[in-house]
Amino acid sequence: MLNQDKQNYQAEETQLLKTILNYRFFNPWSYDMCDQYSLKNDANLEIYITNVCNQHCSYCYLTQFPDLYPSDCLDQELLLHNLQLLYDWILEKDYSIPKVEFFSGEIWHTEFGWKILDLTLQYLHKGLKFNMFLIASNFSFIFDDIARNKINYYIRAFKNCGHDLIFSCSCDGAIIEQESRPTNNGQIRDEKYWQTLFEFCKVHKFWFHPMISAKNVHAWIENYDWWESQCKKYNFHMKQCVNMLEVRNNDWDQ
C-alpha cells in the first residue's frame, strides 16, 4: 500500500471512530435530559487511573499482562495532571455524564487516591456535571482507622454537593481471599477486618462482587456458605448484595 493510500485509509478509520464516539457518548452527554430511547443512561465514563496495586490477584489481567498499562505513565503528578485536563475538557464541553467509574489498582487508602478524590471534589464545585461515582475497591482502607475515616469524609463531601460516591467491594470471601487475592505486604484479612468491612458496607449500603475464577472455584461451595452466613449475620440480602462474577480468563478446564 502506498503511503498516501495508508494515510487516506487511516484518516477514514479515525473518522469512523470519531463518529462512533460522537453518537455513542459525546452527543448523549450534551443533553441534560433524556428519553427512553436515549443512549445517555448507558453512556458512562470509566477512568482507569493506575495499575499500581497493593495486591496481586491470581486472575487480574494487569498482573497477567503488565504491558496493558503503559509503564511510562505511572508518575502520580502526571496522572493528576492528565485527570485535570480531562475534567477541564468535560467542563468546557459542558457534558453531563450519568455515571463515572474509577477502575484502578488499589489507591483509595493512599495519599494519591485522596488527591484524586480532592481534585474531583474541586471540579464538582466548579460545576462538573457527574451524577454519581462508582469505585471498585478491595477496601484496604478498612485496615486503617485514618484511611477509613478519610473515605467516610469523601462519601459525605460528595453527598453534600449532590453526588453519590459508591464503593463496590472487590473481595472474594474469607475462605479463598488469601489464595485468590494475596496482599503484597502479607497483610491478612482477619475476623476483625471482615466485621469492620461488613459494618462499613451496612452503614453506606455498599455491595460486594466476589470473583469466581478457575483457580479458586474448587473452594467456592464452602466460600458460598461463608457469604451466606455473613449476609445473615449482618442482615444483607444475599441475592441482591453479593454479585458473584465469573472471571473469563482462558485457564478454565473441565
Partner 1 sequence: MTQKCLANFKKLTEALKNGRLPSNVQLVITLKGTLDLDNIRALQSKEKIIEYYQFYENNYMLPIRDLKLANAYTALSVPNTAVPSPVTVEDGKLFANFCRLCREIEQENWVNHYFQEYTVITPFANRNRGCENCVNYQGPLWGCGSGTTVIGFLPNNMVTSCHEGFTEVVDKYKQYVAERNLDNIVISFNRFIGDNKVQLTMTDEQYLEHERKMYYYLADNATAQLASSTTQIMALAMANLVDPKYLDEATARNAARYFQDNCSFCIKDNYNQTGSFTLFHNGLYKLLLNGALDYINPEGGACTTC
Contact set with partner 1 (CB under 8 A):
1-2, 5-6, 8-9, 12-13, 15-16, 18-20, 23
Smallest separation, CB 10 to partner 1 (Å): 10
Smallest separation, CB 51 to partner 1 (Å): 22
Smallest separation, CB 56 to partner 1 (Å): 27
Q: 156-191: string of b/e by CB count within 10 Å (b at 16+)? A: ebbeeeebebbbbbbbbbbbbbeebbebeeeeebee
Smallest separation, CB 79 to partner 1 (Å): 29
Which is closer to partner 1, CB of 7 or CB of 160? Answer: 7
Which is closer to partner 1, CB of 14 or CB of 187? Answer: 14
Which is closer to partner 1, CB of 8 or CB of 41? Answer: 8
Which is closer to partner 1, CB of 25 or CB of 227? Answer: 25
**Can you tell me which residue has the cell 454479585?**
243
CA 195 distance to own-chain centroid: 23
Number of Cβ within a 10 Å radius of residue 205 = 9
Q: How far is CA 217 from CA 20, 62, 183, 238, 242, in A?
A: 39, 21, 20, 19, 16
Dihedral sign (CA 172, 176, 177, 181): negative
Which is closer to partner 1, CB of 12 or CB of 144? Answer: 12
Smallest separation, CB 21 to partner 1 (Å): 11
| Rounded (10°) angle between helices 191-204 and 220-234 | 60
